[in-house]
Amino acid sequence: MVIEARDGTSTTRVLLDCGFGLKETARRLERLGLEPGQLDALLVTHEHGDHIGSAYAFGAKHDLPVYTSHGTWLATAHLRGADRADVRVIAADHAFSVGGLQILPYTVPHDAREPLQFVLGDGDVRLGVLTDAGMETPYVVARLAGVDALVLECNHDRELLRNSLYPPSLKRRIGGDFGHLANEIAAAILSQVAHGKLGRVVAAHLSQQNNTPALATAALAGVLGAVPDDILVADQSDGLAWQPVGA
């Protein structure tokens, strides 16, 4: 996902997670009308392959700093190889800036070494991002309070996961407190974060086996008193076109 901030004279763009290979990442950027050289940095939430992917190689190739936690950095020694990415260690609750973007990392309950999620703002409006979390916590809700737009994991429908062909151990992992957000938990988080000026809400990280866009959008729309079509879905293959944060 690319987040862009413009302040008249300058534009800042960061790529949040890089779960694909070098070519596919470049292809997906092209779909948004971007070349890798137009990015300013990469942010990596955690070491799982669908997030770190080719981040170090991509950062090294295109001369982009890679911001991630110390734990993620430690857990990914095998991926760093000879790529010599410019890694900048960040930590939960220590805000930092990349160009015109102010970025606040926060931590989440997930089975990774030191996972981070992010709230990003330009001084005017803020976008909250939450994927890869097993449960709702007061801390997570507090970090997302007041955001103007939200990208929210809706990983699975509990019933579909229960009845899926996944092995029991995997079901326990996904549905556990350090796994992934069920639609109903995402909805519970949204209900606490929602406010009158909350704009775009994007359902993300949907399981292809254990969820459907219809179930995810219905769950989120339900708590907003909206219709499912008002909720956007970040599709794994098609992604999502540019969306504004705030009015």
What are the residues binding Zn ion (CB under 5 A)?
A: 48, 50, 132
* Nearest distance, CB of residue 187 and Zn ion, angstroms: 19
* Nearest distance, CB of residue 224 and Zn ion, angstroms: 24
* Nearest distance, CB of residue 79 and Zn ion, angstroms: 15
Minimum CB distance to Zn ion smaller for 116 or for 119? 116
Q: State which residue has the least CB distance to Zn ion.
A: 48
Minimum CB distance to Zn ion smaller for 48 or for 80? 48
Minimum CB distance to Zn ion smaller for 50 or for 184? 50
Minimum CB distance to Zn ion smaller for 155 or for 217? 155
Q: How far apart are CA 160 and CA 209, in angstroms?
A: 8
DSSP 148: S
* Nearest distance, CB of residue 20 and Zn ion, angstroms: 13
- In the block, tokens 């909805």 appear at 187
Minimum CB distance to Zn ion smaller for 132 or for 148? 132
Cα dihedral 113, 145, 12, 34 sign? positive
Q: How far apart are CA 61 and CA 227, in angstroms?
A: 43
Q: Does residue 133 contact residue 106 with C-beta atoms inside 8 Å?
A: no
Q: Does residue 44 contact residue 18 with C-beta atoms inside 8 Å?
A: yes
* Nearest distance, CB of residue 162 and Zn ion, angstroms: 20
Helix axes 183-193, 213-224, angle to 10 degrees: 30
Which residue, 78, 82, 44, 45, is CA-closest to 64? 44
- In the block, tokens 């509990």 appear at 158
